[in-house]
């Protein structure tokens, strides 16, 4: 991107810090975070850290050219523990951030939504397919998409909603501090490397479209550069089941650690068993395509061990 002033909310988190650090090579970057899921040490020295909440009245939006809004309570469990807090952070925090940015002259926002609203899909999911909210987390992300429509229709803002599919990186990246909320690949790799049996919900046949964070960061930056509006998938179009994931991690690490299977604590009625992205729309809009293969991604994750 040409040199700009950029605000990344959730900026010390896993995806946010990777994005902020990448953008800071050519831009002035503010990483805003309340520290709940993020850690300031994830940021390069060239990124300015602002400790604040997206619910605050005085966000640092003056002079900002682009907002990347990634701040969220980002799991089913967090929302079930406190649905009101989930709605406040994910919906009110989104509206509050975009409105302050708009009032200060920013008209380009790229924000995180979710692929789990597609439900169980073993075929690629296009952005046009019907979606539903079966959890508080999904409801909050769908609400963001509707508010983004409003900001675009009413104020002419560019509002690009990026539906992420299982984004990963290893603990050598920005995930180690998150513990049980870290991405599955990072957790499993760390368990196996340390001789601990990774815990799988159910029988391990559930599939995920695992997308490396480097590809997601490129997609987010492309969305801003092209001033996209609407909804776009960021995934790979390939899915792997968790049993295969464990096999491949063992092969990469030279180990033979068996998983432990437990009953799924998430109700079947809301658990998303299978995901797979259709990334045609993003490819046609920007030329973006995933570049990190599953095998290469696992090599990167396991390299630290």
- What are the catalytic residues? 137
Distance CA 36, CA 116 (A): 23
Contacts of 67 (CB under 8 A, 6+ apart): 6, 7, 8, 9, 61, 97, 98, 101, 106, 108, 109, 110
Contacts of 196 (CB under 8 A, 6+ apart): 257
Q: Is 61 exposed, middle or buried (0-12, 13-18, 19+ CB in 10 A)?
A: buried
Q: Degrees (nearest 5) of the Cα angle 220, 222, 225?
A: 115
Distance CA 291, CA 206 (A): 24
Tokens of 246: 């464990």
Contacts of 142 (CB under 8 A, 6+ apart): 113, 117, 131, 133
Given a contact cutoff of 8 angstroms between Cβ atoms, the answer to whether 111 and 10 are in contact is no
* String of DSSP letters for 84-115: HHHHIIIIIHHHHHHHHHHHTT--EEEEEEES
């Amino acid at each position: 991107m040409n040199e700009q002033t950029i605000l990344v909310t959730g900026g010390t988190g896993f995806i946010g810090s990777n994005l902020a650090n990448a953008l800071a090579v050519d831009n002035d970057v503010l990483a805003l975070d309340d520290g709940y899921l993020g850690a300031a040490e994830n940021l390069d020295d060239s990124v300015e850290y602002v400790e604040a909440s997206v619910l605050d009245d005085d966000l640092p939006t003056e002079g900002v050219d682009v907002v990347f809004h990634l701040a969220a309570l980002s799991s089913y469990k967090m929302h079930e523990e406190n649905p009101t807090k989930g709605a406040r952070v994910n919906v009110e925090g989104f509206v509050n951030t975009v409105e302050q940015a708009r009032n200060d002259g920013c008209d380009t926002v790229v924000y995180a939504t979710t692929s789990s609203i597609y439900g169980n899909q073993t075929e690629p999911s296009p952005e046009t397919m019907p979606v539903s909210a079966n959890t508080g987390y999904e409801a909050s992300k769908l609400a963001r998409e509707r508010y983004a429509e409003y900001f675009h229709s009413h104020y002419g803002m560019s509002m690009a909603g990026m539906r992420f599919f299982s984004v990963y990186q290893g603990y050598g990246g920005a995930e180690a501090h998150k513990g049980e909320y870290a991405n599955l690949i990072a957790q499993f790799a760390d368990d196996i490397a340390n001789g601990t049996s990774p815990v799988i919900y159910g029988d391990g046949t559930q599939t995920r479209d695992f997308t490396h964070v480097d590809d997601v960061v490129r997609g987010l930056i492309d969305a801003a550069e092209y001033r996209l509006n609407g909804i776009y998938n960021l995934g790979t179009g390939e899915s792997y089941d968790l049993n295969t994931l464990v096999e491949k991690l063992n092969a990469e690490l030279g180990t033979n650690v068996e998983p432990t299977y437990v009953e799924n604590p998430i109700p079947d009625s809301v658990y998303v068993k299978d995901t797979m992205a259709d990334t045609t729309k993003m490819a046609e809009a920007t030329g973006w395509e995933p570049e990190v293969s599953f095998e290469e991604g696992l090599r990167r994750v396991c390299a630290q061990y």
